[in-house]
Amino acid sequence: MKYDFTYYNPTRIHFGKESLSELKGELGLYGDNVLLMYGKGSVKRTGIYDKVNDILSACGKRVTELGGIKPNPSYSQVLEGARLVRENGIDLILAVGGGSVIDCAKAVSVAAYCDGDAWTKYWIDFEEPTGRIVPVGSVLTMAGTGSEMNGGSVITNEEVMLKNGRVFPSSVYPKFSILNPEFTYSVPEYQMVSGIFDTMSHLMEQYFSGDDDNVTDYLLEGLMRSLIVSAEKALENPNDYEARSNIMWAATMGLNTVTGVSKTQDWEVHMIEHQIGAYTDCAHGIGLGVISVPYYKYIYKYGIKKFVRFAHNVFDIEISTVSDDETALKGIAALGDFIKKLGIPDNLRAIGVTEEMLKPIADSCVTGGGYYEMRAEDILKVLEAAF
């Protein structure tokens, strides 16, 4: 461990088949006015909406609803939620859904009493929240983003074609999150693999940085191995409780900040995907899956030791006596095989990217990077290789 850190995570997690029964106790900690946020309708089809509403009524809550939150939530929906919070004196925002609903709930929480334009303040200038922060709680219905236990909030501003993410301080993290793996059984396979690869990408983005002997890297390798095993089981049987619960907890652990401790981290794949998402509205994890192999092939030489370790410790590839390049490339190929098994396409055209979009996407990505600092021209080469 090389870098100093302070670690704190305030989200209380209730995990398991009976975890929704903990909602009553959590609601007791807040006032009567609840803003119930959910997505485009899955919670109504699965009955989770009714179950949550029954608990809200039994607790005597006055409920204001904001449904229809879209995947890749938009800034206009944030403003709508902020207005509802102010008009109804909301005491708690309860997000029932996947990462999009929870991200949007956090955005509403800080936008409601924001002094000035929230988009500029929080997603362009990345300022810390200054106004009142309305507490958020969540009932998670889809595993992947880790939003249930972090401060991340990724919002798309359609007017300016930007999908920007940021991490808010712990005061904005959900106060509690309820994780019942059975709630994820109904997630369509395409969304399930999107979530699985999103988690894999979070683990890799944190792993591919630094070469110190860091306990976090061992943790990340274990999570990646578990995720790969459970993904195969869940593809075979989506109702495999053990597999779905491993996936759900790996996703939470994968971005609840513990797996980033004392790491410089990369996040370039995410920066590129966010702009692909702004142009195509593709599922986040699918976009990540399409560009990961071309990206890692582009940068592996700059972090070769780690790519050799990845091949050996995550995919059990024997270390070549001939060259590190051989081992590293076998590891990246094994990652490609995993992506293929998930059924994620291997080209950008399949997710709606056109040739004309490549340059604008490359030019609008926020760059940074881990082993190699990507510039717009490097990103363009990666996009061309993925096209």
**Binding residues for ligand NZQ, per CB under 6 A?**
39-43, 46, 71-72, 97-101, 103, 141-142, 144-147, 150, 152-154, 165, 183-184, 186-187, 191, 194-195, 198, 255, 270, 284
Which of ligand NZQ, Zn ion, none interacts with 135 (beta carbon under 5 to 8 A by kind)? Answer: none
Q: Which is nearer to ligand NZQ, 85 or 248 (CB)?
A: 248
Closest of 302, 286, 274 to residue 370, by C-alpha? 302
Helix, coil or strand: residue 63: strand
Specify whether the CB–CB gap between 248 and 181 falls below 8 A.
yes
Our CB check for ligand NZQ shows the closer of 14 and 284 to be 284
Token duo for residue 272 = 């590129």
Residue 252, contacted partner among Zn ion, ligand NZQ, none, CB below 5-8 A by kind: none
Q: Are 360 and 331 in contact (CB under 8 A)?
A: no
What's the count of helices (H) and strands (E) in the chain, helices before strands? Answer: 15, 8
Instruction: Give the span between the Cα atoms of 282 and 164, in whole angstroms.
Output: 15
Residues that bind Zn ion (CB under 5 A): 198
Find the shortest distance in angstroms from Cβ 39 to ligand NZQ: 2
Residue 270 C-beta: closest distance to ligand NZQ, Å: 6
- Closest approach of Cβ 99 to Zn ion, in Å? 8
Among Zn ion, ligand NZQ, none, residue 53 binds (CB under 5-8 Å by kind): none
Q: Which helix (H) or strand (E) holds 110?
A: helix 99-111
Residue showing the smallest CB distance to Zn ion in the complex: 198
CA distances in angstroms from 111 to 51, 66, 347, listed in the order given: 29, 15, 37
Question: What HEC string does 150-203 produce?
Answer: CCEEEEEECCCCEEEEEECCHHHCCCEEEECHHHHCCCCHHHHHHHHHHHHHHH
Q: How far is the CB of 323 from ligand NZQ (least distance, A)?
A: 34
Q: Which does 109 bind (CB under 5 to 8 A by kind): Zn ion, ligand NZQ, none?
A: none
191 binds, among Zn ion, ligand NZQ, none (CB under 5 to 8 A by kind): ligand NZQ
When the beta carbons of 104 and 219 are compared against ligand NZQ, the nearer one is 104
| Residue 103 interaction partner, one of Zn ion, ligand NZQ, none, beta carbon < 5-8 Å per kind | ligand NZQ
Closest separation in Å from C-beta 322 to ligand NZQ:
37
Phi and psi at 33, nearest 5°, equal -95, 120
**CB 152 → Zn ion: shortest distance, Å?**
8
Of 105 and 358, CB closest to ligand NZQ: 105
Asked if 302 and 372 count as a contact pair (C-beta separation under 8 A), the reply is yes
Would you say 157 or 199 has its CB closer to Zn ion? 199
Closest separation in Å from C-beta 90 to ligand NZQ: 21
Rg (CA), the chain: 20
Min separation Cβ 269 and ligand NZQ, Å: 10
Nearer to ligand NZQ, 158 or 355 (CB): 158
Task: Decide whether 198 or 309 has the Cβ nearer to ligand NZQ.
Answer: 198
Nearer to ligand NZQ, 292 or 313 (CB): 292
- Taking the least distance from each CB to Zn ion, the nearer of 263 and 330 is 263
Give the CA distances from residue 35 to residues 21, 64, 109, 134, 242, in Å, rounded to whole numbers and listed in that order: 19, 5, 10, 10, 33
Smallest CA-to-CA distance from 173 within 129, 231, 118 is with 129
Q: How far is the CB of 177 from ligand NZQ (least distance, A)?
A: 12
The residue type of 69 is I
> CB neighbours of 251 closer than 8 A, spacing ≥ 6?
143, 144, 145, 146, 195, 198, 199
Joined tokens for residue 290: 């399409």
Q: Name the binder of 246 from ligand NZQ, Zn ion, none, CB < 5-8 A by kind.
A: none
